[in-house]
Chains A and B, each alone.
Chain A
Amino acid sequence: MLKQTEGSRAVAEAVALCRPEVICAYPISPQTHIVEALGEMVKEGALADCEYINVESEFAAMSVAIGASAAGARSYTATASQGLLFMVEAVYNASGLGLPIVMTVANRAIGAPINIWNDHSDSLSQRDCGWIQLFAETNQEALDLHIQAFKLAEELSMPVMVCMDGFILTHAYERVDMPDQAQVDAYLPPYEPRQVLDPNEPVSIGAMVGPEAFTEVRYLAHAKQMQALERIPQLAAEFRSVFGRDSGGLLRTYMTDDAETVVVAMGSVLGTIKDTVDAMRQPENGGHKIGVLGITSYRPFPLAAVAAALKNCKRFVVLEKSLAVGIGGIVATDVRMAVTGMGLKGFTVIAGLGGRAITVKSLTALFEKATREELDLVTFLDLDWKAVNKQLEREKVRRRSGPVAEALLRDVGVVGARNY
């Protein structure tokens, strides 16, 4: 059914259609509307046979989900940013135990300085936690990915994060096609756990394992993610046959057939990038041969599919909303690994940190530079060099130079915010 709704509401309704049995809720922007909507559905009875638990922290949220999943219940929670970091120990535990929990991450920056706006630092910090990470480009895809996520998670006994850009998607009212219960039931079978806490067949779950088997346990987690590389496209195809639309998969290309320059990115910024590419391809704008590669499956990372998508280009730009301090890109590192030996020029662009708008104007200038291969290996899009240099100078002349973020904002001025 077509409807105009908020991204968070759409995700909540999709999750409800998946018949979750235990939902753990803890507020953190920009995820909160999702669990609020689910809570309302449970309380009014629209979502029956579901326990909705207001927990005292994200650490508890994931821990309650662990207990519920181990006891055989389909379990869901949502978080973002600091919340994801606060639950990290339990995040690793859930994947280590092979519990198919599904969690929405409404991607948001990590402090300090505290910042509620969107970038991908939170879930990318959990790159190696053993969860599958799928990135939604649109609200439609966000809701569709949740339905696929439960199926993928439960088939593989592995938890899945569905990542959607905080505010940009979660708070955007857009048209979505909401599936009906029969469709979701046809696609998603009931949860059959591989291990369960059952008094009639008692098992010990989560005991200590020494060096004699630890590597094998870890390898099997890796092997399962490699299996997921095959299953994710199949699940997307099955999804199309039931729901009649393309959603998910490992990655998606746009105008890459003849592209000499390919921009690689994840999430909602792909829309802006595609608009920019459309314009740059116009003869009056230089007729640039430029295309786009959107990565949906960040973990497992589709090395072979990325290599195949980039095989015809001459250069690529990885534009990412994340920063690996001390080296540059996080996604870029993986993309570079994928194209090892292909002789491509690669550029890393750090953009949109802490919610800074990524504009067509900035992207156009950036991509034009990229086509001329005039970009630095690592570029910070729209970096205010004046403010940076002023702060560096301040730190040079004065030992007690104070909080960096405050000094920068004083320099930029509140009015400076208007630029973004």
Chain B
Amino acid sequence: MSFQPVKFYQTGTFTVGNRLLAPEERSVQASAKRFNSLNSGHRACQGCGEALGARYAIDAAMEATDGQLVAANATGCLEVFSTPYPETSWQIPWIHSLFGNTAAVATGIAAAIKVKRKKGEQAQDVRVVAQGGDGGTTDIGFGCLSGMFERNDDVLYICYDNQGYMNTGVQRSSATPPAARTATTMAVGPEPGNVFGQGKFVPAIALAHDIPYVATATVADLRDLEAKVRRAMEIRGARYIHILVPCPLGWGTASQETIHMARLAKETGIFPVFEAEHGEIKSVLAIRRQMPVEEYLKPQKRYAHLFGKQPNVAVIARLQAMADRNIKRYGLLGQGER
């Protein structure tokens, strides 16, 4: 296992105790020499989980590659808030092509680098990261993603999952959970919000490709995220990290609640955090203090229709059942190691 979760927490809290670590083990972000790959001054909303996740993930990848990194970026929030010309927050070579082709663009970059290295035209090795939101990954970019996976192209694909098309105004994606209100799964009618029995969990589909590395993470456990990026960059071939990044705008949560919401997603079992190699789950980030899903759902306006005068206990129970199934399936109440 690449990361020991408990040691990083200060006793009795969820605060990451960076200062308890040896300097070489501290967060990339704790260093004055951090790369700031996604520099300040961008236009993300207050409390944007994606901006936080991207900053940690890309800086960790930069550290792992000694600054020799190229990124391909899908259309979406991350692309829009980070770049409108002539400004850019990216301190790394970065390309945005389309919404649905990011994995393929990254494949092309990796292929070009491979040839240039082979020809001796490029002294340094350069690694490739592709990144997109859940819409660009689980929906419109899914074909290209699967293609990149099955060819085992040397690309780390990072999905920042905020569970909807937030850039276009909070519409449903295939990563939107059941019962959640979006602009296209309205909180009206006899069954308000997104329907049950739909959607997909792409990390599990990534596992089915038997690629060298698949991991999930949240912005609540940033050291875990950094460790996973670092581990991913030690490996060649197709790698996938799926990061849950709460979205204050789309979820209807206060901007200071982003990390808290991510933690609740993990602690309720709603979002399983695990690490897998070659199709086998190697470890999970165990739930430290299990909570009922209400704790996670209640602060989010997208679930407000479940908590009126008459709480919709049936729907809440179904969501709890989903969390319970995750807990069982991934062994989230265990010690973490598998």
Tell me whether B111 and A202 are in contact (CB under 8 A). no
Is B107 at the interface (CB under 8 A from chain A)? yes
**Which of A9-46 touch B at CB < 8 Å?**
21-22, 24
A140–B19 alpha-carbon span in the complex (Å): 71
- CB-based contact A204/B90 at 8 Å: yes
Contact with A along B305-337 (1 / 0, CB 8 A): 000000000000000000000000000000000
Asked if A204 contacts B112 (CB within 8 A), the reply is no
Q: Which residues 44-96 of B sit at the A interface, judged by CB distance below 8 A?
A: 67-70, 72, 79-80, 83-85, 88, 90-96
Q: How far is the CB of B235 from chain A (nearest CB, A)?
A: 20
Q: Is the CB of A59 within 8 A of B143?
A: yes
User: Whole-angstrom distance from the CB of A101 to the nearest CB of chain B?
Assistant: 10
Check B108–A207 contact: CB distance below 8 A: no
Interface residue B114 (Cβ < 8 Å from any Cβ of A): yes
**Which chain B residue shows the least CB distance to A201?**
B93
The closest CB in chain B to the CB of A53 belongs to B111
Residues 168 to 198 of chain A near chain B (Cβ within 8 Å): 197-198
- Check A341 for interface membership: any CB of B closer than 8 A: no
In the complex, what residues of A have CB within 8 A of residue B150's CB?
A: 56
With a cutoff of 8 Å between Cβ atoms, the chain A residues found around residue B146 in the complex are 56
- Indicate whether A75 reaches chain B with its CB closer than 8 angstroms: yes
Q: Are A71 and B108 interface neighbours, CB within 8 A?
A: yes
CB distance from A62 to the nearest CB of B (A): 8
User: Which residues does chain B contribute within 8 Å of A208, judged by CB atoms?
Assistant: 79-80, 83-85
A205 within 8 A of B: yes
User: Does residue B113 face the partner (Cβ distance < 8 Å to A)?
Assistant: yes
Interface window among B97-105, B252-260, B288-296? B97-105
Residues on A with C-beta less than 8 A from B110 are 67
Interface size class of A (residues with CB under 8 A): 35 or more
User: Please, which residue of chain B has its CB at the minimum distance from the CB of A57?
Assistant: B143
| B97: A residues at CB distance < 8 A | 63, 66-67, 90, 93, 97, 206
Bound-state CA distance A131–B96 (Å) is 20
Shortest distance between the CB of A130 and any CB in chain B (Å): 15
Residues of chain A contacted by B100 (CB below 8 angstroms): 59, 89
CA distance A60 to B72 in the complex (A): 14
A residues within 8 A CB of B72?
A: 67
User: B109: which A residues are within 8 A, CB to CB?
Assistant: 67-68, 70-71, 197
Asked if A64 and B92 make an inter-chain contact with CB atoms under 8 angstroms apart, the answer reads no
CA A182 to CA B144, docked complex, whole Å: 38
Residues of A near B101 (CB, < 8 A) are 59-60, 62-63, 66, 89-90, 93
Q: Which of B22-30, B115-123, B189-197, B274-282 contacts A (4 or more CB under 8 A)?
A: B115-123
A55 at the interface (CB under 8 A from B): yes
Q: How distant is B219 from chain A, measured CB to nearest CB, in Å? A: 24
Cβ of A95 to closest chain B Cβ, rounded Å: 12
Decide: A56 near B144, CB < 8 A? Known: A49-B119, A199-B67, A207-B83: yes
Contact assessment for B91 and A202 in the assembled complex, using a CB-CB cutoff below 8 Å? yes
**Cβ of B217 under 8 Å from chain A:** no
Residues of A close to B106: CB separation below 8 A:
67
- Tell me the chain B residues, 126-185 only, with Cβ under 8 Å from chain A: 126, 143-144, 146-147, 150-151, 153
Within 8 Å of chain B (Cβ to Cβ): is A210? yes
Shortest CB distance A132–B (Å): 20
- Whether B93 pairs with A203 at a CB distance below 8 angstroms is yes
Task: Judge whether B124 is part of the interface by a CB distance below 8 angstroms.
Answer: yes
Q: Say yes or no: A72 contacts B116, CB within 8 Å.
A: yes
* B112 close to A63 (CB less than 8 A): no
Q: Which 7 A-B pairs have the closest CB atoms?
A: A67-B108, A56-B147, A71-B112, A63-B101, A63-B104, A73-B112, A68-B108
Known A-B contacts: A59-B100, A199-B93, A204-B95. Give 6 more (CB < 8 A). Answer: A60-B144, A69-B108, A73-B115, A198-B93, A199-B70, A199-B124
Show 26 residue pairs from A and B whose CB-CB distance is below 8 angstroms, ordered by the A residue: A53-B107, A55-B104, A55-B107, A55-B147, A56-B143, A56-B146, A57-B147, A60-B101, A62-B101, A64-B104, A67-B106, A67-B109, A70-B109, A70-B112, A71-B70, A75-B108, A89-B101, A90-B101, A97-B97, A197-B93, A198-B93, A199-B92, A202-B91, A203-B94, A205-B96, A208-B80
